[in-house]
Structure 1
């Protein structure tokens, strides 16, 4: 069934997986809702239709939407990293293009991430002395290399998602060999104040040999005119509105009102009613608590619960601790799953077991005080505006 043949009712009944919806930095949905006076359920339909359209457009150009998940969602065993340049050392005003000639070869090298979101831009919004303090503490650089004291906006950032530990170093070494303006990188996987200064526009998504960029109304992709083809990439363009809403990675800048609006949209896509995550109640049933805290091999998430320092909590205390982190988190991996059950040993449909699910990344300090990341799965009851913790691992 193609896009033109499905009715709104049929579309909303279909199971789906949406890796990420960006209303955190993209205003497209907000503008559409305000200008057309859309109700919550109409916004839900709009976003479900946009997701279906984006999936179809990508497929027609040789990209499976499912393959974008590693680039668009945080992963507890992968890194987000900000590679930082001194733009005062650029030889032209087009320093973004100049620095691209340092990171593009690194991206193409054997050590580069094959599925990643790439964002770039100047550091803005924090006083220069604050940036100096952050970089002094967090910038990974050669021993003895001093951080130059620049104005904030003279630090230029190229940000990659879904980077392995080995790739962190490989990218660093390759970029350093290509540009004297390169300073080093900051691990942005867990919360760092640096993120508050990174409202970075996304340049592209890389999926294997394809580079996915926004395209304008005339169908022109790669609007920054970077030489992706010179590095053996095929450029794929997607309409700007679809791209900014469904294919943009969200760097969590820690702006509460942005996060509240973003979570309300995400829960609205699941339920048809826009209510933010802070107003959602959270519970852990006794059965689920036993599963979460079990350290039996092959069962449960007890090792993660213990590492997070939560092993002594009862189920109510554990739910409260997770809820406190949830209220600050962005929602990913939104999905509607059709229920099933076993009858005479065979799996049959069971609508009573249908589920709405999403995932958030939360952080807790380990026993040494180092903040660690965990992926928490939530089952959402839209009628009660209530969540139940299903998994927690990291």
Structure 2
């Protein structure tokens, strides 16, 4: 029996990379360690009445949902704990049935001109902004929003004076890449349950509100587990290209489903004839919906290959009965009219011995 691993965060959390490199652990050993870590996390969540598989919508990108970073000017908040005052405005706006990952942080960075430029490019304003310094601007990033939900939150927050506007995070942009480098995962909302990390030397049987926000006031109940499990396996990664020095994130994600690890950016992308015909015809043509119906197999393979290194891999699965390792990747396909690109989820089988990524489906 195989468990689909929603995501592995070795990009923002260095535990797996440090453990592998310090002890010189082989891919075979790391495969067992990561699989064991996943099993432990699932057991902890089960003990708290939470099913790991039910958290998928908060932990992986979706083609039918939106993301945004809501920006607040802390100069307009009297309390030094401005994050609390902001969260008091945000929490009541989240549907009690919905799943979201929530990240927070100040717009930090030495290059203030760059920060100002990405705000000019992407910020959907609620009011005029007089830019002073990035560190006085506070961001709350929320994923898995419906389009109407995003508009509702934006409209409601516009009644709160410190609210400046939001940065769209659904599609690739310099602003989204910037946010992916500065924000920290705060908590995961699963319906009426809030999940977060607590100290690694605290028992997993306890539930501690490390964020300190008044979740109970808004009908939410806090559940926590040791941060090494939350940070690695329950933290959403805002999509961005794989920068030099962060290749270990992909390596360790692959190591969660295989004990043979190779750089996948040089792999052949294989689309079988029957699969290509299916993608052209199924459900009115999946390739047509993606706007790439005119491309032949080789063109589509080249397109997928060019995009594999532009994002992270997720929905990781190992099927021991068939010795199959597979994962998903989100690719963005530009539209000829210059409007928002088409987002396509591509499921790929990882075949390390052949240096091949075989296309399973696209949707």
TM over 0.5: yes
Measured after TM superposition, the shift of residue 36 of structure 1 is 2.7
Tell me the equivalent position of 1:181: 162
Assess, with a 3 A threshold, how the Cα gap between structure 1 residues 155 and 35 changes in structure 2: closer, same or farther: same
1:155-184 Cα shifts (integer Å, max 9, x gaps): 21100010000110121223333x311111
Determine if the alignment matches structure 1 residue 17 to structure 2 residue 17. no
Structure 2 unaligned regions, length at least 5: none
Taking CA–CA contacts closer than 8 Å with sequence separation of 6 or more, which of the two structures ends up with the larger relative contact order?
2
2:202 alignment partner, one of 218, 221, 224: 218
Determine if the alignment matches structure 1 residue 376 to structure 2 residue 360. no
Quick check: 354-363 or 75-84, which moved more?
354-363
Tell me the equivalent position of 2:192: 209
1:341-360 equivalences under 5 Å are 351=321, 353-360=322-329
1:101-116 equivalences under 5 Å are 101-107=88-94, 110=95, 114-116=98-100
Structure 1 unaligned regions, length at least 5: 1-13, 339-350
Assess, with a 3 A threshold, how the Cα gap between structure 1 residues 169 and 186 changes in structure 2: closer, same or farther: same
Size of the alignment, in residue pairs? 356
Determine if the alignment matches structure 1 residue 327 to structure 2 residue 297. no
Larger Rg: 1
1:89-119 Cα shifts (integer Å, max 9, x gaps): 2212222122111112222xx4x77100000
Measured after TM superposition, the shift of residue 333 of structure 1 is 0.2
Determine if the alignment matches structure 1 residue 94 to structure 2 residue 120. no
Quick check: 91-100 or 79-88, which moved more?
91-100
1:132 alignment partner, one of 102, 116, 121: 116
1:1-394 equivalences under 5 Å are 14-107=1-94, 110=95, 114-125=98-109, 127-142=111-126, 145-177=127-159, 179-198=160-179, 199-216=182-199, 217-219=201-203, 221-294=208-281, 298=283, 300-305=285-290, 307=291, 310-337=292-319, 351=321, 353-370=322-339, 371-393=341-363
- Helix, strand or coil for the counterpart of 1:157? strand
Using structure 1 for the length normalisation, give the TM-score.
0.85
> Does the 8 Å CA contact 2:240/2:312 hold for their aligned counterparts?
no
Q: In structure 2, what is the Cα distance between the partners aligned to 1:30 and 1:256?
A: 16
> Does the 8 Å CA contact 1:82/1:188 hold for their aligned counterparts?
yes
- Helix, strand or coil for the counterpart of 2:229? helix
- Helix, strand or coil for the counterpart of 1:167? helix
> Does the 8 Å CA contact 1:364/1:372 hold for their aligned counterparts?
yes
Q: In structure 2, what is the Cα distance between the partners aligned to 1:87 and 1:255?
A: 32
